[in-house]
Structure 1
Amino acid sequence: MDTPLILLSFFASIMALAIATILYSVAIVSTKIGTFFLYFSLTMMLTMLIGASIYLFSPSNETFGIAFGINMASMILLLGYFFAVAENLAERMNFNGYHFYTLSALAVINEVLMGLTFGLAQFGAKPFSTIILGLYNSLNSYWFFYPMMAEMLSLYLIAYIKIEIDENSSR
């Protein structure tokens, strides 16, 4: 592919910021509806990256249709579920370890798919021609490490600032 590195970096930065915001929201969500939208956001990003990877691996009208179909089907199914149980989602809930682990796993899967998608956009399909090569090149790329580091650093800074504010307000 011949996608400019600056453009890919811009989109990767936006996606890393979105994931960091979603992960930060985990600390402040206390209702079932908030939890649903955390899952919804990460799942929609996941399906978008899957669709983009399919298209970038072999660009054609058919793969574009498949990518579009994956994104639309997942959105329709999730929103259908949401509207079917919406009145039960307004309740408060205990945000337990299961949700932390599941949301963390979804975030890491998103990072792996970012490595794949942005790698395909920058280098083309050849370095990703087999599953092993694809996984290797996805995990060993700056498209995986840069967003992961940016998200972890932002979460650390948010937690640090919050602790400092709490300590200063208690004095």
Structure 2
Amino acid sequence: MKIGITKMYKEIADLIGLEEYEIVNPYNTKVDCDFLIISKGYKERVKKLNPESEIFEVKSATFMDLIKSLEELKKLGIGKEGKIDKSIEFLKNKEKEIKKLVKDLNVKVNPKTEFIRKVVEDLGLEISDNGILIIPDYLFDGKNIENIIILKTHNYDLGLVERIEDRYLQIIQSIQKYLNK
């Protein structure tokens, strides 16, 4: 089976112990692969260009999303079971360490997108319409930056696990700064 992985998710190959794969761009071109690992939300677009390929969408807003994606790949027989189990253990430990940083943050937040809501819920932060507003950078109009946290969402210089970790840490550190004003 020929497996293609998009550039953004190439780290998946390491997490599942996949040795033979190709980095592809199935979003804009037809590729010669039987199985494609892509970003969530693009299945329909990719299927039009690659109707014969089986498509797997990776969810990775949170550590749990990524863990579930790895578990699904394991069920499909993609990758090495032992390596996937080790990666899941690694992700659970990383998540646990980050969540320790939140335990003393007694604050309410107001996430403005479902994506950010998933992250703050996973962190265990209380959600309220009166909380600190958290918006993604692509919704920031450049005006009022008082009482607002702007989350940088597309940090392509980071690997997959680093991007997830970065989201959590950005929120935690921004809340800490906000509370120490």
For the criterion TM > 0.5, the same-fold answer is no
> Structure 1 length normalisation: TM-score?
0.28
Larger helix proportion of the pair: 1
Larger strand proportion of the pair: 2
Which fold has the larger relative contact order, with Cα–Cα distance below 8 Å and residues 6 or more apart in sequence? Answer: 1
